[in-house]
């Protein structure tokens, strides 16, 4: 993430160089716009290549200057072609609001920016592969959970989804509670919370905070739960349909189920492998599985539209270890996630890093 932000800053410098030289040549020297742009674009490409080489990617092994510069120029040309092609397609063929020139420009620029960065990392300033993944079969995502506990804005948003459905008179279950990040937040707000967490070490962390925890749903009586939430859990369960059926039996008639899971299999990366994800979901898949169980879906949307791009970028250039760096999480949480939530107003029906679904158990079913 730090490298990507540096790359964006270098791109801003390139934009200034491009625009400044273009104005100088056209307004000051009277050259034609096409000839002037060819000169200014070339100057911007060389400038950004030099800065990326000595700053943003100074720690990467570097090829010969001629080979590296050729690869960099090729990357810029392809990125420009993608930008223009996508912009043209959106303006001519997309529906409202995506055919608006400004929105189309933002989308095209964002896609080409990600393409440029990914190809730059892979082909211009390549890095060595990370360490091999563990073959032990044990869950190895606790470090990522501990890192994510510092994501204040992200966790605050997920907590708000819970609070919107909960009150102090409800019996609430945190299904797949992990280290109890959200259960502790609920308890601090006076909610009656019980956790289900099969991992022994993580259960110890929950118990240490004074919250009741069970390894499975078996210990919870049928039709005794008002609200069950499960945040980034179903993707860990091979037979998620059976898990939804178990959840259904524990909820009271009229009880609600809140699900939050990773979205889009195309985003499946080393991080998913590290923590044992079987899948990522689409809205349609999640709706189908919950309705097949007997639930009535009340709300369903994608969340974190910018996270889709960030996850795709991580898949393309991220570490093979699947580890998430704390500094990257903090940068994303403080700077990008708030913007992403605003953009979700436009994109929640189309894409996002996660899927949110709220369902209810019918009151008239035996």
Domain finish residue from 124, 155, 179: 124
Domain finish residue from 80, 98, 124: 124
Per-residue pLDDT tens digits for 69-83:
777 777 777 777 877
For residues 112-126, average pLDDT: 74
Helix or strand holding residue 296 (H, E):
strand 296-303
pLDDT at 215: 94
| pTM for this entry | 0.67
For residues 128-140, average pLDDT: 39
Q: What is the DSSP string of 76-90?
A: HHHHHHHHHHHHHHH
Measured in degrees and rounded to the nearest 5, phi and psi for residue 296 equal -105, 125
Q: How far apart are the first and last CA of the chain?
A: 52
For residues 138-153, average pLDDT: 64
Claim to verify: residue 99 and residue 148 sit in the same structural domain: no
Domain finish residue from 92, 124, 156: 124
Residue 130 lies in a domain: no
**Which range scores top for mean pLDDT: 94-103, 112-121, 196-205, 250-259?**
250-259
Per-residue pLDDT tens digits for 325-353:
777 788 888 888 988 898 888 888 888 99
Asked whether residue 16 carries a pLDDT value surpassing 90, the answer given is no
For residues 212-239, average pLDDT: 95
pLDDT at 73: 78
| Partners of 128 in beta bridges | none
Claim to verify: residue 156 and residue 249 sit in the same structural domain: yes
Claim to verify: residue 175 and residue 281 sit in the same structural domain: yes
Asked whether residue 128 carries a pLDDT value surpassing 50, the answer given is no
Asked whether residue 186 carries a pLDDT value surpassing 90, the answer given is yes
Domain count, the chain: 2
Helix ranges (DSSP H) in the chain: 2-23, 33-51, 65-93, 101-119, 142-148, 152-163, 181-188, 200-208, 240-250, 270-275, 283-293, 305-317, 326-331, 337-347
Look at residue 19 and give its three-state secondary structure. Answer: helix
Claim to verify: residue 158 and residue 263 sit in the same structural domain: yes
Residue 366 lies in a domain: no
Claim to verify: residue 180 and residue 210 sit in the same structural domain: yes
Residue 72 lies in a domain: yes
Residue 133 lies in a domain: no
Claim to verify: residue 112 and residue 150 sit in the same structural domain: no
Claim to verify: residue 327 and residue 276 sit in the same structural domain: yes
Asked whether residue 229 carries a pLDDT value surpassing 60, the answer given is yes
pLDDT at 59: 66
Alpha-carbon gap, residue 117 to 272, rounded angstroms? 22
Residue 262 lies in a domain: yes
pLDDT at 311: 84
Mean pLDDT of the chain: 83
Claim to verify: residue 65 and residue 184 sit in the same structural domain: no
Residue 82 lies in a domain: yes
Claim to verify: residue 168 and residue 301 sit in the same structural domain: yes
Residue 248 lies in a domain: yes
Alpha-carbon gap, residue 318 to 314, rounded angstroms? 4
Query: What residue numbers bound the domain in which 262 lies?
Result: 142-360
Q: What is the CATH number of the domain that holds 354?
A: 3.40.50.150
Evaluated on CA atoms 300, 301, 302, 303, the torsion sign reads: negative
Alpha-carbon gap, residue 103 to 107, rounded angstroms? 6
What lies within 8 Å, CB to CB, of 294 at 6+ separation is: 248, 361, 362, 365
Claim to verify: residue 109 and residue 166 sit in the same structural domain: no
Look at residue 190 and give its three-state secondary structure. Answer: coil
Claim to verify: residue 59 and residue 191 sit in the same structural domain: no
Per-residue pLDDT tens digits for 287-332:
999 999 999 999 999 999 988 888 877 777 666 676 777 777 888 8
Q: What is the percent of the chain with per-residue pLDDT over 90, rounded to a whole number? A: 41
For residues 4-23, average pLDDT: 81
pLDDT at 1: 65
Claim to verify: residue 64 and residue 175 sit in the same structural domain: no
Residue 251 lies in a domain: yes
């Amino acid at each position: 993430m730090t490298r990507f932000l540096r790359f964006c800053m270098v791109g801003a410098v390139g934009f200034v160089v491009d625009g400044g030289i273009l104005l100088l040549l056209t307004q000051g020297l009277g050259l034609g716009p096409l000839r002037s742009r060819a000169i200014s674009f070339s100057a911007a490409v060389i400038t950004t290549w030099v800065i990326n080489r000595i700053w943003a990617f100074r720690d990467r092994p570097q090829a010969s200057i001629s080979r590296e510069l050729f690869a960099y120029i090729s990357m810029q040309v392809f990125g420009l072609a993608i930008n223009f092609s996508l912009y043209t397609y959106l303006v001519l063929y997309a529906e409202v609001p995506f055919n608006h020139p400004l929105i189309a420009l933002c989308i095209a620029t964002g896609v080409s920016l990600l393409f440029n960065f990914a190809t730059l990392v892979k082909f211009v300033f390549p890095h060595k592969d990370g360490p091999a993944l563990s073959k032990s079969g044990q869950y190895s995502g606790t470090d990522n959970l501990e890192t994510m506990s510092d994501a204040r804005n992200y966790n605050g948003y997920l907590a708000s989804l819970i609070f919107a459905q909960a009150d102090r008179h409800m019996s609430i279950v945190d299904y797949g509670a992990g280290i109890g990040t959200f259960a502790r937040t609920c308890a601090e707000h006076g909610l009656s919370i019980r956790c289900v967490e099969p991992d022994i070490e993580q259960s110890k962390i929950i118990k240490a905070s004074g919250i009741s925890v069970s390894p499975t749903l078996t210990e919870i009586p049928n039709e005794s739960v008002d609200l069950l939430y499960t945040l980034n859990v179903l993707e860990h369960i091979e037979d998620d349909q059976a898990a939804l059926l178990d959840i259904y039996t524990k909820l009271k008639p009229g009880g609600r189920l809140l699900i939050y899971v990773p979205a889009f299999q195309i985003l499946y990366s080393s991080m998913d492998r590290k923590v044992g994800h079987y899948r990522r979901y689409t809205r349609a898949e999640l709706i189908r599985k919950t309705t097949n169980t007997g639930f009535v879906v009340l709300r369903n949307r994608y969340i974190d539209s910018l996270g889709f791009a960030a996850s795709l970028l991580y898949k393309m250039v991220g570490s093979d270890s699947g580890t998430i760096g704390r500094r990257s999480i903090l940068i994303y949480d403080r700077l990008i996630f708030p913007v992403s939530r605003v953009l979700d107003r436009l994109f929640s029906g189309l894409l996002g890093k996660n899927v949110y679904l709220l369902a209810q158990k019918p009151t008239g079913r035996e």
